Amino acid sequence: MEAEMNRPLPFAVQALVMGSVPCGDWSFLRDYLPPECQIFCADGGVKNALAAGLRPDFAIGDWDSGGAPVEGVPSVSLSPEKDMTDLQAAMDAALQAGHTRLLLCGCMGGPRLDHTASNLVILEWLACRGGQGMILDSDNEVRLLEEEIVILDNTAGPRYRYFSLVPLDRRVSGVFLEGARYTLRNAALVRGDTLSVSNEPLGPETRIHVGAGRVLLIRSQRL
């Protein structure tokens, strides 16, 4: 992996947690991973890591999604009857190893809608344990925002055509949007409403302010 990153990230990645959703081309990962990044694989994420040219540092799973232990790589075999998904188990292993800034890949768009939905909100679980995370695939990135100001650089990295704010709390207040096609000023977002879905960045920067509550910030490249 290249040491110099060309794509902006909200934090310095310490570990990649790879899920089992396949991708035809993993080259988009090159600019996100520093050389010292540790690779934690959840079940079929082992195959994805190898396909991306990455050697796993740790593998965990019940091995029902196409993964298997790799010779020379520490691994844990789980029972299919367990209280968390393989992805969450891999994230927990990364946290236990001291990594709090996680990039999650291979965990959106698979055949199991329930897994995709739970993987999106697992960013809350990570935040409650002092971690930061971003979910990434070749077209989208997902972040959790909570009572903070974020400035998106629209001139570097992927040219995201759209962004959406999806409320996780019943009501999210004090929302401001600047540098967007549809601006908001001290707005309230209600969970289940689509007011803040499918906005478009304008100009070099987009400024997002979330006053109270949690939202998912989802940026997408495709039309």
CB atoms within 10 A of CB 13: 22
Rounded Cα distance between 64 and 71, Å, is 18
**Digit-coded pLDDT (tens) for 120-158:** 999 999 999 999 999 999 999 999 999 999 999 998 878
Rounded Cα distance between 169 and 86, Å, is 26
Q: Please give the pLDDT value at position 147.
A: 96
* Phi-psi sector, 172: left (phi>0), alpha (psi -120 to 50), beta: beta
Say which amino acid occupies 172: V
Rounded Cα distance between 50 and 41, Å, is 10
Using N-to-C axis directions, what is the helix angle for 86-96 and 113-128, rounded to 10°?
20
Q: Please give the pLDDT value at position 164.
A: 98
- The confidence band for 4, taking pLDDT boundaries of 50, 70 and 90, is very low
Rounded Cα distance between 127 and 144, Å, is 8
Residue 48 has pLDDT above 50, yes or no: yes
Q: Please give the pLDDT value at position 152.
A: 95
